[in-house]
Amino acid sequence: FGETKAAIDDAAQYQAEWGREFLPTFTAFFVILTSPILTIVPLGLWLWHTGRIDTSTLLFYFIVGLGFTVPLLRVLSIMTQFAVLGLGARLIRELDDADVLPEVAVESRLSGATLEVRDVDFSYEDRGEASRPVLQGISFTAEPGTVTAVVGPSGAGKSTLARLIVRFWDVDKGAIRIGGVDIREMPIRQLMDQVAFVFQETFLFNDSVAANLLVAKPDATHEEIVEAAKAANAHEFVEGLPQGYDTLVGEAGDRLSGGERQRLAIARAILKDAPIVILDEATAYADPENEIALQGALDRLVQGRTVIIIAHRLTTVAGADQTLVLDEGQVVERGQHDDLIQRGGLYTEMWEAFTTASSMALTGGSEREHPAGRGAST
């Protein structure tokens, strides 16, 4: 949390400095643009006085010139929209030019839902970013019916690891296997059938609640949709919407709160009924009221499945069967909560920083130095 606060303070300071530098220029520009009388009247009277224009011309420019403010402001607005459209077009071109992952055509025969990560290295080399190792020598096994938590400071590679499991990219070295089969040796559709994931930033289409849930299982019945929503603690608020399950959620679900969007994402994962579940900080931004509902939904989602949790709040994974502590792309500690606390390593530092920050939030106490020097963000 200390590193997060420092980053916010730096961003605020940069914004303030930028404003102080450019505010006079922008102020002068908009004053001139929105107050044409300050320029047209003096200039027109001078031209008329010197005989360069006659009275009728002067009146014409007074009438026309003073009416140009609104059209000019609209032109500026259109120029801004063109800039946004240009950015969108560039992003579309980048997507079109992106390399397509190789894919096999024939489905593989899997032996269960055990997830194995073996000696995985990964970097963003040749992907438009600086070449640096993000993950190095990552190895672990996650069995069905167990929860594996992944924690660590910001930038340790936690979310990258989660995305490698669903093959957003291919690993540079090593292998990721599901049911004994390398994920590169199964079709993307088969891989997607094996994994359900709920990311920190949930995404909903500008469609109805039901249609968004059906993305996970297109042939699901209405009864199955309702059961999944109930299991995710979403049914009650959905029923309170104007058209219930037929209510449009808006672009990216902007008509719903963050907690409601997350519960629908969990309902979608429950409806999918995949044997492997990946939760990437699914409760990171939940308020206390929503967190209780979300935690209950997550408890039902993970039952009997192979679960990987990228943890933001350490208290949510204290009961995990195994916890991997990542730092600078490597597993520096592993074990269960009590064992890791007793070792007095990085996990202990993060736990102390987390509990201290939580106590400050509850008591409203003044800011004080964390007992640990490392960032408390997980």
Question: Which residues is 152 bridged to in the sheet?
Answer: none
The CATH number for 177's domain is: 3.40.50.300
Q: What is the dihedral of CA 259, 270, 212, 159, to 10 degrees?
A: 60
pLDDT in tens, 126-157: 544 456 788 999 999 999 989 999 998 888 88
375 CB-near residues (< 8 Å, 6+ apart): 1, 2, 3, 4, 153, 154, 353
Sequential DSSP letters for 328-374: TTEEEEEE-HHHHHHHTSHHHHHHHHHHHHHHHHHHTPPP---SSSS
Question: Which residues is 115 bridged to in the sheet?
Answer: 142, 178
321 in the same domain as 174: yes
Higher pLDDT, 173 or 99: 173
Whether the predicted pLDDT of 37 surpasses 90: no
What is the number of other CB atoms lying within 10 angstroms of the CB of residue 44? Answer: 18
Average pLDDT over residues 182-189: 93
Residue 117 is predicted with a pLDDT of 95
SS3 assignment, position 102: coil
Whole-structure pTM over 0.85, yes or no? no
187 in the same domain as 41: no
Residue 126 is predicted with a pLDDT of 54
167 in the same domain as 56: no
Inside any domain, residue 282: yes
Give how many domains the chain has, as a whole number: 2
Inside any domain, residue 1: no
139 in the same domain as 40: no
Q: Which long-range contacts (CB under 8 A, 24 or more apart) does 183-188 make?
A: 184/102, 184/104, 185/104, 185/108, 186/104, 186/107, 186/108, 186/110, 187/103, 187/104, 187/105, 187/106, 187/107, 188/101, 188/103
Least confident of 20-29, 167-176, 225-234, 307-316: 20-29
Task: Determine the Cα–Cα distance for residues 360 and 152; give it in Å rounded to an integer.
Answer: 21
Q: Which domain holds residue 35?
A: 12-97
Q: Which amino acid is at 163?
A: R
Higher pLDDT, 258 or 92: 92
Opening angle at CA 74, ends 71 and 77, nearest 5 = 160
Question: Which residues is 324 bridged to in the sheet?
Answer: 150, 334
Banded model confidence at residue 284, pLDDT cuts 50, 70, 90: low
Residue 275 is predicted with a pLDDT of 93
Alpha helix stretches (DSSP H) within 137-199: 158-165, 188-194
Inside any domain, residue 2: no
Inside any domain, residue 368: no
Mean pLDDT rounded to a whole number for the chain: 82
201 in the same domain as 70: no
The residue whose two tokens read 């070449």 is 131
Inside any domain, residue 378: no
Phi/psi for 121 (5° steps) reads: -115, 145
Which of 29-40 are b and which e, b meaning 16 or more Cβ less than 10 Å from the residue's Cβ?
A: eeeeeeebeeeb
Please say which residue of 35, 69, 97 terminates a domain.
97
165 in the same domain as 286: yes
Whether the predicted pLDDT of 125 surpasses 90: no
Inside any domain, residue 370: no
Inside any domain, residue 252: yes
Average pLDDT over residues 243-260: 88
Which tokens in the block code for residue 276?
């492997």
The residue whose two tokens read 């997980």 is 378
Please say which residue of 69, 97, 125 terminates a domain.
97
Whether the predicted pLDDT of 160 surpasses 50: yes
Average pLDDT over residues 99-115: 89
pLDDT in tens, 317-365: 888 899 999 998 899 999 999 999 999 889 898 888 878 776 665 555 5
Residue 371 is predicted with a pLDDT of 35
Higher pLDDT, 283 or 353: 353
Task: Determine the Cα–Cα distance for residues 204 and 292; give it in Å rounded to an integer.
Answer: 22
Residue 22 is predicted with a pLDDT of 72
80 in the same domain as 144: no
Residue 316 is predicted with a pLDDT of 77
123 in the same domain as 80: no
Inside any domain, residue 372: no
342 in the same domain as 278: yes
270 in the same domain as 232: yes
Whether the predicted pLDDT of 241 surpasses 80: yes
Average pLDDT over residues 23-44: 77
146 in the same domain as 55: no
240 in the same domain as 202: yes
Phi/psi for 366 (5° steps) reads: -75, 160
Average pLDDT over residues 55-69: 80
**Residue 208, class by beta-carbon neighbours within 10 Å (0-12 exposed, 13-18 middle, 19+ buried)?**
middle
Sequential DSSP letters for 221-281: -HHHHHHHHHHTT-HHHHHTSTTGGG-B--GGGTTS-HHHHHHHHHHHHHHHT-SEEEEES
Per DSSP, 101 falls in state P
Whether the predicted pLDDT of 40 surpasses 50: yes
Please say which residue of 68, 97, 126 terminates a domain.
97
